[in-house]
Structure 1
Amino acid sequence: MIDLHYWPTPNGKKVSIFRMPATVDHAPADGGGPLSVFESGAILFYLAEKTGKFWPQDLRGKYEVTQWVIWQMANQGPKLGEAGHFRRLADREGDQSYAVRRFTDEANRLYGVLNMRLRDRRYLAGDEFTIADIVSYPWTVNWQATGSRHQELKHFKRWFEEVGARPGVQRGLAVGADLSTDNSKLSEEEQARIRKILYNQRALPVPD
């Protein structure tokens, strides 16, 4: 049994699409005690290796997938997250025009990278659906929030629609739907409390 500690953000949905973010595997392959893994990319590698699915193990296929998982973790997720953040909060935090332009342009560039990659292959790592697609897709679902126009990117649009139509992806996206909150229906005080939790945190002191 694997426990999934989860919240319905794009990073959490990477793991729920895989079907099982932190996980605890109570039956790890080494036969030892429970094994915990955190970080969505590491969890996908772990689950793919454990199940033998969505991650080819031949040398070339393995690293074709691996490099795109790392690309997502280092580029797509952080930059699209910043684009959504600054575009969403620009009207309440003073002049954020540079940050909005910077990350909106970067989001557009990264959608272009996906579009270019998909021009001559069905999925990000070739002809097979892999964790490279699983890790990237959840961050494209709310493409409107980053100011992107995916209909102008025909190769990306084809992939986006095909991956989104997969029953396993649809089931994965539905996980945790009951945990989502419509912030517009919350009081200003509650919205402020949530922002304080989510944004501008600093390092906590290390206990003695």
Structure 2
Amino acid sequence: MLTLYTADTPNGQKITIALAELGLPHQVQHLNLSADEQHQPPFSDMSPNHKIPLLVDDGMPIFESGAILIHLADKAGRLLPASGAARSTVLQWLFLQVGSIGPMLGQLWFFRHGAGQGQPNEQALERYGRETMRLLGVFEARLRDTAYLAGDAYTIADIASFPWIRSYHELGVTLADYPALADWVARIEARAAVQRGLASAKP
């Protein structure tokens, strides 16, 4: 049995969606991040960075959402090619999410909603807003030419990016200028397994 420790955030939703898509038996343990449960045992003993999500597979803890997605896809033999150029393409788009989409959109969300009371940090909002729009443009250009990020097939690269892009309305941005990206979001959101995964992320 797989055990997922998670919360209802884009990074947590990635894994609940992947588990639903892959049909792997699992149980979910929800952490209350506001109560700092991520810094308390047993979770803190298993996750060196004290961040969700964390997957435990046969007693082996696996942290970092990208590593978890690769592990699950390889375990199930789906959503990630086994080798070659096709696998490399999926991993490139997966790591673009891990290295850019998550951090940049996450910072924009923080400076819009989580930075406390007082004057907004306009410099931070401009910086992260500009980079968010640039990244949306990268995705738009890609999705004009392919149905999914890595090509014709839906993969863990799409699963990784979808929860972050789906949160665009919380970031004060619109997808009006990104029709291919908006279509991609709508198609993924309509998948039954995605809906089950989003529901599973909720405590």
Q: After superposition, where does 1:32-181 map in structure 2 within 5 Å?
A: 34-89=59-114, 92-177=117-202, 179=203
Cα deviation, residue 117, structure 1: 0.8
| Identity across matched positions, percent | 40
What is the CA–CA distance in structure 2 between the aligned matches of 1:68 and 1:102, rounded to whole Å? Answer: 23
Work out which structure has the larger RCO, using CA pairs closer than 8 Å and 6 or more positions apart in sequence: 2
Name structure 2 gaps, 5 residues minimum: 25-52
Cα deviation, residue 81, structure 1: 0.3
Paired amino acid for 1:46: H
Provide the residue aligned with 1:15 in structure 2. Answer: 15
Paired amino acid for 2:7: W
Provide the residue aligned with 1:25 in structure 2. Answer: 57
Aligned CA RMSD, in angstroms, stands at 1.3
SS of alignment partner, residue 157 of structure 2: helix
Given that 1:76 and 1:107 are in contact with CA atoms closer than 8 Å, whether structure 2 keeps it comes out as: yes
**Deviations for 1:27-72, whole angstroms, at most 9, x for unmatched residues?**
xxxxxxx221011110000000111010012301000000011110
Cα deviation, residue 94, structure 1: 3.3
Rg bigger for which structure?
1
What is the CA–CA distance in structure 2 between the aligned matches of 1:150 and 1:156, rounded to whole Å? Answer: 7
Given that 1:137 and 1:160 are in contact with CA atoms closer than 8 Å, whether structure 2 keeps it comes out as: yes
What is the CA–CA distance in structure 2 between the aligned matches of 1:160 and 1:4, rounded to whole Å? Answer: 25
Given that 1:90 and 1:100 are in contact with CA atoms closer than 8 Å, whether structure 2 keeps it comes out as: no
Q: Which moved more, 1:146-155 or 1:52-61?
A: 146-155
SS of alignment partner, residue 5 of structure 1: strand
Provide the residue aligned with 1:2 in structure 2. Answer: 2
What is the CA–CA distance in structure 1 between the aligned matches of 2:91 and 2:62, rounded to whole Å? Answer: 18
Given that 1:87 and 1:146 are in contact with CA atoms closer than 8 Å, whether structure 2 keeps it comes out as: yes
Given that 1:3 and 1:25 are in contact with CA atoms closer than 8 Å, whether structure 2 keeps it comes out as: yes
TM-score where L is the length of structure 1: 0.79
Q: Summarize the Cα distance change of 1:85–1:52 in structure 2 as closer, same or farther, 3 Å threshold.
A: same
Q: Aligned pair count?
A: 171
Q: Which runs of 4+ in 1 moved over 6 A?
A: none
Provide the residue aligned with 2:50 in structure 1. Answer: none
**Deviations for 1:120-156, whole angstroms, at most 9, x for unmatched residues?**
1000000000000000001012211222211221110
What is the CA–CA distance in structure 1 between the aligned matches of 2:188 and 2:143, rounded to whole Å? Answer: 13
SS of alignment partner, residue 144 of structure 2: helix
Given that 1:17 and 1:172 are in contact with CA atoms closer than 8 Å, whether structure 2 keeps it comes out as: yes
SS of alignment partner, residue 151 of structure 1: coil
What is the CA–CA distance in structure 2 between the aligned matches of 1:127 and 1:80, rounded to whole Å? Answer: 26
Cα deviation, residue 95, structure 1: 4.6
Cα deviation, residue 107, structure 1: 0.9
TM-score where L is the length of structure 2: 0.81
What is the CA–CA distance in structure 2 between the aligned matches of 1:101 and 1:91, rounded to whole Å? Answer: 18
